[in-house]
Structure formats: C-alpha cells, structure tokens
Amino acid sequence: AAMEPVPVPGRWGAATCVLTGASRGFGRSLARLLAGRLGQGSLLLLLARSEEPLAELATELRATGIRVECVAADLGCQQGMQRAAAALQDVLPTAPPGRLILLNNAGSLGDISKSFLDLTDPDEINSYFAFNVTSALCLTSKALRAFGKRPGSSRTVVNISSLCALKPFKNWTLYCSGKAARDMMFQVLALEEPDVRVLNYAPGPLDTDMQLLARTKTGDPEMRRYFQSLQESGQLIDCAVSAQKLVNLLEEDTFRSGAHVDFYDI
C-alpha cells in the first residue's frame, strides 16, 4: 500500500471549521484530526447535543493552540437550531477568511425496531427529518451566508452520508430516506454554487454506538445478523481510520463537487 502522507500540523493555514455531531463517535475522531491540520489563528466551532463531552473535547483541542468554540444544541428542535444559527452569525463574519470547511455529521438512526408499516405517527417522522434533513440544510445555508463570498477564500461543505443513501435496508425507512434526501440536497448545492466544493462522504460501517444499535435493535432478524457478522468478522472500521480518509480527500481536493464518495472507493 502507498505510504500515507505524514500530517503536517497547521497545513491548512488559518481556516474556519464547523462540525456538527462533534461530541462522540466519528465526529469526535474527526474533530481531533481537524484540530491537527488547522494553523495559527484558526477557529474550530463544534456543535453537539451533549454539553459535557463537548466541553471536554474542546478543552483537549485547545491545547493545540487553536480557538475552539462549542455550542450545545439539539438541532432537531427550533430552539436548538436558533442557538446554532446565532453562533454561526456571531463567529463566522469575523472568522479567518482563508478557508471555510463545514462538516454536517450530526444524525440519528430513528426507531429501527419499526417496519415501514409501523411508521404511522407524523410527529415521529417529522421530528426525525427535522433533525436529520432540515437542520443540515438550514445550518449549511446559514453558514455559507454568514461566512460570505470572500475574494481568494475557499468554501467546502461535507455531508456525512452512508451506503443507505443509495441502497434500501429493511427497517431503516427513516435513516435511508434521510440520507438519500441529504445527498440530493447537497448535489443541488453543488450545481447552484460552483465556487463551493461539496462532498457526500460515506464513512463505511463504523465501530460506534450507532452500529451497536444496528446489531441489537434492528427489527429484521436477517439485517440484525448481517450487522452482527460485520462486528464478529472484524469488518467494522475504526472512526479515526475513516476520518483520516476524509481529511486526505479534503487535502487532495480532487473530488468532483457533489460526488458521493465511499470509504471503500478510496
């Protein structure tokens, strides 16, 4: 295999980075890697629902010498969205102008014990889409507007996608349709805003709490066994390994804007 490029601390110069779902799993691994790439004067804005793990992570990352701000907000409710939007409006206009990188990682599985025919409650469905689709759209549009078009600066938007954006899985109606909607949404952004780099990155089956839910709570026994076998045969991917692949993609910056790139494609 080719040698991985040795990460150069601060290689990205003074950049502004916004990451949702930062407090655990893939988001947490990603935050650590990003902090290592951001140069002096950079800003890392972390958003997540859980305040304590978020604050711990921020403290850890401030040791690298960059400015780390965190916002504890539930993006699935209006109040949380308003808090997040206010933070973007507050910090982005004066943030380092060189580069904006926005990573939409926050997401949830929904109730995977339910089949399609069990999903009869509009409130449950609407609240799922509010968090998994609406918030990603609103945060992205607000962040791009707040940062603005600045001469000589680059803007990159990443959607943490999934194989589920392309392929249906039993009992995963909400998750699959949410991921498909997000992919399409960001493809439209890529078309409308040719100077914004847009990437839909599917990180592969990660060894996270979400995978634990997948193999214990999925209603369909065959699907449950499939997820159990991934774990038993050591096929789950370490978050840091997948996050590193994403960072490399952003660094090489050769992807077609709006493309869906899977961990296994690279």
**Interior CA angle at 228 toward 226 and 234, to 5°?**
105
Mean pLDDT to the nearest integer, 39-60:
96
Report whether 106 contacts 135 (CB < 8 A): yes
SS3 157: strand
Q: For the chain, what is the mean pLDDT? A: 95
Banded pLDDT at 7 (limits 50, 70, 90) = low
At 123, is the pLDDT very low, low, confident or very high (cuts 50, 70, 90)?
A: very high
Q: What is the pTM of this model?
A: 0.95
67-107 residue pLDDT tens:
999 999 999 999 999 999 999 999 999 998 889 999 999 99
Amino acid at 225: R
For residue range 169-200, what is the model confidence (pLDDT) as tens digits? 999 999 999 999 999 999 999 999 999 999 99
pLDDT exceeds 60 at position 159: yes
| 10 pLDDT higher than 90 | no
Determine the pLDDT at residue 37: 93
Q: CA geometry: angle at 261 spanning 195 and 247, to 5°?
A: 75
For residues 244-253, give the mean pLDDT. 96
Kindly provide the residue ranges of all beta strands, DSSP E only, lying in 51-153, ordered along the sequence.
67-72, 99-104
Give 200-215 as a DSSP string.
EEE--SBSSHHHHHHH
In order of their start, the domains of the chain are 15-205+239-260 (3.40.50.720)
Record the tokens describing residue 213, joined without a space.
């839910």
